[in-house]
Amino acid sequence: MQDRYKHCYMDIEEVKQRAGPREFGPTDDMPEEYRKAATRMIQFHANSEIMGAYIERPFIRQAPSLDRKLAVSAQVQDEIGHGQLLYRAAENLGIKTREQMLDELANGEGKFLNCFHYPLDDWYELPMIMFFVDGAAMRRQATLKRTSWEPYAHAIDKICFEEGFHIKHGESILAELASGTRRDQERLQEAFDKWWPRILQFFGPTDDQSTHSDFSSAVGLKTMGNDALRTAFLNVYLPKAEKYGLEIPDTPAVTFNEDTQRYEVEEDDLDWDEFMQIARNQYPQGKGQIDKRHRTQEAVEWVRDAIENPGAGSAAAD
């Protein structure tokens, strides 16, 4: 859109004043601080979509029925698509190119959600991701329909449209296992015990510990804080776990505070050292996941080359 005029430069105070749902777009001359914060947030989200797909991918092969296999493969395909939409939204900010962000992910500099650093061991663990983690992500994404960076909100519109299928398919697997044999129920409980603390950490440290939260909220990128989101998640997903006969582990302790109408989690019961190690991309299993992404990116390098420089490789073959 080369012939569209640029709005005049906005300083950060003006941004804070105007901040509201879908308020800013590529034709606004945004201060660098805003563009950097938005890039950090959207790139993290995009990376998480891609790494989420890598967690689910092995279950295309391991699915117990053809219906499940088709649905899992459709989900993996959706997640990769979500990643692509988001890299586009981030690219519009002019801080990083899509290639740069993909390279950063492959070489271990790109950050992504804690839950996707833990590969899944078996089918019983799949609904932990598909129902609880995707459900948590949906809670968060729904609040981002009101983010101030318009291209981000547009990507979120399409993501939310598709995700209903993921969560319902995830719940359908959960319901099937929960009503299975005694052994199925035990294994489901084991998976839940293992994943529950990680799911509680999904929303990150509490607001007072969170580093970038204040600025992102002030400029309208984020529309709800970590604590409120975690409560909103627990409000509906905790009863779901109980509905399927899952026992909520005693630690980490989760209690509902009647006065504040909020769930409180005993933070000391959670392994924040591991969380921080993950946040630095140094958790061994998470490194394994990043390496997988790295190998795949390298393996298809020749395809990208062939597309971007058509004819370049054929001379040697002639």
71 binds, among Fe ion, other proteins, none (CB under 5 to 8 A by kind): other proteins
| Structural contact between residues 152 and 91, judged by C-beta atoms closer than 8 angstroms | no
Minimum CB separation of residue 60 from other proteins in Å reads: 13
Give dist(CA 24, CA 131) in Å, integer.
Answer: 33
Stretch of 97-105, 130-138, 148-156, 185-193 contacting Fe ion, by CB under 5 A: 130-138
Q: Which residue has the tokens 């591991």?
A: 274
Provide the binding-site residues for other proteins, judged by CB under 8 A: 3, 21-22, 67, 70-71, 74, 135, 138-139, 141-142, 150, 154, 160-165, 167-169, 171-172, 175, 236, 239-240
Minimum CB separation of residue 271 from other proteins in Å reads: 28
For residue 9, what is the DSSP state?
P
| Structural contact between residues 285 and 119, judged by C-beta atoms closer than 8 angstroms | yes
Give dist(CA 11, CA 79) in Å, integer.
Answer: 35
| Structural contact between residues 111 and 281, judged by C-beta atoms closer than 8 angstroms | yes
Minimum CB separation of residue 290 from other proteins in Å reads: 29
Minimum CB separation of residue 227 from Fe ion in Å reads: 23
Half-sphere exposure of 102 (CA within 13 A, CB side): 17
Minimum CB separation of residue 287 from other proteins in Å reads: 33
Query: Measured on CA atoms in the order 66, 71, 74, 80, is the torsion positive or negative?
Result: negative
171 binds, among other proteins, Fe ion, none (CB under 5 to 8 A by kind): other proteins
Site string for Fe ion, 49-68 (x = CB under 5 A): x-------------------
Alpha-carbon torsion angle 104, 107, 113, 116, nearest 10: 140
Task: Give the helix/strand (H/E) hosting 59.
Answer: helix 58-62
228 binds, among other proteins, Fe ion, none (CB under 5 to 8 A by kind): none
**Does the protein bind Fe ion through residue 227 (CB under 5 A)?**
no
154 binds, among other proteins, Fe ion, none (CB under 5 to 8 A by kind): other proteins
5 binds, among other proteins, Fe ion, none (CB under 5 to 8 A by kind): none
79 binds, among Fe ion, other proteins, none (CB under 5 to 8 A by kind): Fe ion
Minimum CB separation of residue 20 from other proteins in Å reads: 10
| Structural contact between residues 72 and 60, judged by C-beta atoms closer than 8 angstroms | yes
**Does the protein bind Fe ion through residue 166 (CB under 5 A)?**
yes
**Does the protein bind Fe ion through residue 134 (CB under 5 A)?**
yes
Q: What does the block give as tokens for 2?
A: 């080369």
Amino acid at 95: I
Residues 6+ apart with CB under 8 A from 239: none
**Does the protein bind Fe ion through residue 79 (CB under 5 A)?**
yes
175 or 218: CB nearest other proteins: 175
Q: What does the block give as tokens for 166?
A: 């993921």
Tell me which residues touch Fe ion (CB under 5 A). Answer: 49, 79, 82, 134, 166
